[in-house]
Amino acid sequence: MTKTKWTNIKDIIEGNKTGKKINIRGWIYRSRSSGNIVFMVIRDNGGILQATIKKGNLPDEDFNDAKKALIESSLELEGVIREDKRAPGGYELKVSNLNIINFAEKFPIVKDQSPEFLLDKRHLWIRSQYLNSILKVRSTVVGAIHKFFRKRGYYEFDAPVLQPNQCEGGSTLFQVKYYNNKTFLSQSWQLYAEAAIFSLEKIYNMGPTFRAERSKTSRHLSEFWMAEMEVAWADLYDITEIAKEEIKFIMKEVLKQNKSDLEYLNQDIKKLEKISKSKFPTITYTEAINILKKHMDIDWGKDLRTLEENKLMEHFETPVVVTNYPVEIMAFYKPKDPKDNKTALCFDMIAPGGYGEIVGGSQRSLDINDMTNRLKEMGESIDNYDWYFDLRRYGSVPHSGYGLGVERVVAWICGIENIKDAIPFPRTVLRFRP
């Protein structure tokens, strides 16, 4: 028995199969029939293709099946590829054989349904061309991050997901019962990464990260993927430059691999190309406040939230690095700037177009006393951090790191309104199903 050779639709719409007899398999994306002819649009992971099924060109039984089959039925088709300017994608399949694998029931998703309904049916909506395009971009972004760090000699290092400590503030912790004890889901790999740099020096990781974000915003998920890096001997300036390079590298990879997806999502490719080749500015928090003062009443010391970040970004076309936020609003491990004691050696990178913070990082404090005081102020039990302070006791070195929100970057590059569509099955304060 010879094994069937399956052709991917991508290969067909790239023009490589014109005039050839081929076999494809996939799902019915659209279908309409009149009398003795059925027009189907078939989809597979490479795209969509029109199939013309004419009575007489295939066994009658197959033709009747084609007439009966509802959208999302799975099937195999055989036929010849012809160019046809009127067909979506420019090609059509003249079908000579058809085999329905599964006759789908009536598909519950039809046009113009509410976002909430689509989230309830996420397991089916994930087949849409819209999510298909975003998920392909996401796959490229994830691959690009690995490639970026590995090319530069970083090691991939994994931290535990169940952790006894908080890293980013107690209010967003998810508690997990742990035998007769309790632990928390990881808010960051950072504290463990700081242990590992004494062995590997340059490390990165990408993994699920959990924060109980109680306010509903279009930028916050309760479970998201953070791509983090930590590096020995590096200062704040060093890591801001690496973060800029990383974002540009990701953008270039997406432009190389996902042009048709970006087109489907109506993204301005020229604009993205320009960003991928631009220099991203660095400003201080104080400079940002001075820009904002022209538009709003804002005092030095206030954190930059969505409103302020969006206003600030009206002045920029590329992402911007903002450094030196006020110490008071920063996590315990962010050190004071010796040149400006009111601010910390930290940064956020903010994306243009209202997408907000995409990267956040800092130099790490080396001062056990200062960190102890700040943790105490937050009501933390110091005993839990003694292992972490050991890292300052045995061969401490300057070091820095940052975290990049994978979904924030995907949402920005794809131009999607809500971060929920940048992850396959979103978890938010109101949703953890399906």
Contacts with ligand ATP by CB under 6 A lie at: 168, 211, 213, 219-221, 224, 226, 356-360, 403, 405, 407-408
Q: Which is nearer to ligand ATP, 190 or 258 (CB)?
A: 190
Q: Find the shortest distance in angstroms from Cβ 219 to ligand ATP.
A: 6
Strands 181-185 and 175-178, bridge-based pairing: antiparallel
Rounded CA-CA distance 303/38 in Å is 60
Q: Which is nearer to ligand ATP, 221 or 368 (CB)?
A: 221
Q: Find the shortest distance in angstroms from Cβ 331 to ligand ATP.
A: 8
Q: Find the shortest distance in angstroms from Cβ 215 to ligand ATP.
A: 9
In sequence order, what DSSP letters do the residues of 76-113 get, joined into one string?
Answer: EEEEEEEE-TTSGGGEEEEEEEEEEEE-----S--SS-
Q: Are 385 and 365 in contact (CB under 8 A)?
A: no
Q: Find the shortest distance in angstroms from Cβ 401 to ligand ATP.
A: 10
Q: Which is nearer to ligand ATP, 53 or 221 (CB)?
A: 221
**CB under 8 A, 24+ apart: contacts of 191-195:** 191/159, 191/163, 191/165, 191/167, 191/333, 191/388, 192/159, 192/160, 192/163, 193/157, 193/159, 193/228, 193/230, 193/401, 194/230, 194/364, 194/388, 194/391, 194/399, 194/401, 195/387, 195/388, 195/391
Name residue, tokens 């329905």.
Answer: 100
* Residue 24, helix vs strand vs coil: strand
Q: What is the helix (H) or strand (E) element at residue 331, kind and residue range?
A: none
Q: Which is nearer to ligand ATP, 22 or 173 (CB)?
A: 173
Q: Which is nearer to ligand ATP, 69 or 423 (CB)?
A: 423
Rounded CA-CA distance 46/328 in Å is 51
Q: Which is nearer to ligand ATP, 72 or 348 (CB)?
A: 348
Q: Find the shortest distance in angstroms from Cβ 284 to ligand ATP.
A: 17
Cis before residue 424, ω within 30 degrees of 0?
no
Q: Which is nearer to ligand ATP, 87 or 243 (CB)?
A: 243
CA distances, 361 to each of 103, 196, 202, 383, 402 (Å): 52, 17, 15, 25, 4
Q: Find the shortest distance in angstroms from Cβ 407 to ligand ATP.
A: 5
Write out the two tokens for 413. 């590059």
Phi-psi region of 164 (alpha: psi -120 to 50; beta: other; left: phi over 0): alpha
Q: Find the shortest distance in angstroms from Cβ 74 to ligand ATP.
A: 34
Q: Which is nearer to ligand ATP, 58 or 404 (CB)?
A: 404
Q: Find the shortest distance in angstroms from Cβ 375 to ligand ATP.
A: 17
Q: Count of alpha carbons within 13 Å of 160, Cβ hemisphere only?
A: 11
Q: What is the helix (H) or strand (E) element at residue 370, kind and residue range?
A: helix 368-377
Q: Find the shortest distance in angstroms from Cβ 52 to ligand ATP.
A: 45
> What are the residue ranges of helices labelled H in 39-188?
60-68, 115-120, 122-125, 129-151
Q: Which is nearer to ligand ATP, 93 or 221 (CB)?
A: 221
Q: Which is nearer to ligand ATP, 47 or 356 (CB)?
A: 356
Q: Find the shortest distance in angstroms from Cβ 181 to ligand ATP.
A: 26
